[in-house]
Structure 1
């Protein structure tokens, strides 16, 4: 069983976000907890046959652990998001052509965005992972819709090319989830819960 830090007796610990994503950094700022950012330097290549959910969980924990080795006294947050299209993982497209291909695959389909979270503190032995699943139904997009969206938003650093906090919301029929921040890249309800368990005072 993972130890839970006692916030009333444990000394305050620094918080490190193991991500260079500006989306996750902006989300973390909502919690108003002082934190620093560190790049995790983790190979994000999926293993052969690895399911999207398993991939997201593995990478979130790997990122947190990679940064924790450099900051053993800190509480480290790692996160990863994978778009799950009928069991096929869709990551960040990186460029226009791959984004077009992804959105063509997803039009008219239901996609589950698997957003995994890990919080680790080596000094206390704390290690917890969680997963937020967001079920998204895409409109039956035309090629013209796809091109117009990509030219306007350029979401090449977003899993599945869908930036829902921007114009990407116009691509969708519906969103079903229990944490409105999960689709952006960091489920703050779960993040707040795990930080409290790790001994970080939020309020």
Structure 2
């Protein structure tokens, strides 16, 4: 059984659906500090570093177990976005995203004994349709506070799908973790049957 260094509902749902035995132990790291230290790095590297940092943080207390960390970053017009701190900020993010393309970078890492043994990152492009203020208000009335935990202010498996006119990329990457490479790595490390 692996440890998932997250309490993300979508990541847990992916592992549940794939039949991966795990125990969730949320990581306690300062994500903004990690991002600040890597301010000039490409987004895929930042997402990978965050996923490794989460797994490392949990691995320290579970030395013998394989720990899975994962993280997602959103970039729109060269600007990186974090989870919204308030409903007002969520509306501001959605107004900025309107009519633009979101680049979503989702990374995952496996750590054992404090050492990263595997990591990967994948990207998806989500084309946001033109969003009216009325739609944004209706959307947040229905989806807040659940989307406050989501970078990009959406849950693709819920009403968030209405934000987009087109999505390019793997569905699991959009959900927040490059699941197929993760499953391959778990088979390689003997956590799943090959």
Q: What TM-score, normalized to structure 2? A: 0.90
Question: Could you tell me whether the CA contact under 8 Å between 2:15 and 2:21 is conserved in 1?
Answer: no
Tell me what 1:10 maps to.
none
Residues 1:52 and 1:98: Cα distance change in structure 2 (over 3 Å): farther
1:162 aligns with 2:154: yes
Q: Matches of 2:85 and 2:9 in 1, distance apart?
A: 15
Which of 88-97 and 130-139 deviates more? 88-97
- Distance in 1, matches of 2:85 and 2:135, equals 19
Q: Does the Cα contact within 8 Å between 1:162 and 1:168 map onto a contact in 2?
A: yes
How does 1:15-164 map onto structure 2 within 5 Å? 15-45=2-32, 46-47=35-36, 48-122=39-113, 127-154=117-144, 155-164=147-156
Larger Rg: 1
**In the alignment, what sits opposite 1:184?**
175
The whole-number CA distance in structure 2 between the counterparts of 1:126 and 1:142 is: 44
Tell me how far 1:50 sits from its aligned partner: 4.6
- Comparing 16-25 with 43-52, greater Cα deviation is found at 43-52
Gaps of 5+ in 2: none
| RMSD over aligned Cα atoms | 1.6
Gaps of 5+ in 1: 1-13
Say how many residue pairs are matched: 188
Aligned residue for 2:148, secondary structure, equals: coil
C-alpha separation in 2, matches of 1:152 and 1:52: 30
Contact 1:85/1:106 (8 A) holds in 2 = yes
Higher relative contact order (CA 8 A, sep 6+): 1
More helix by share: 2
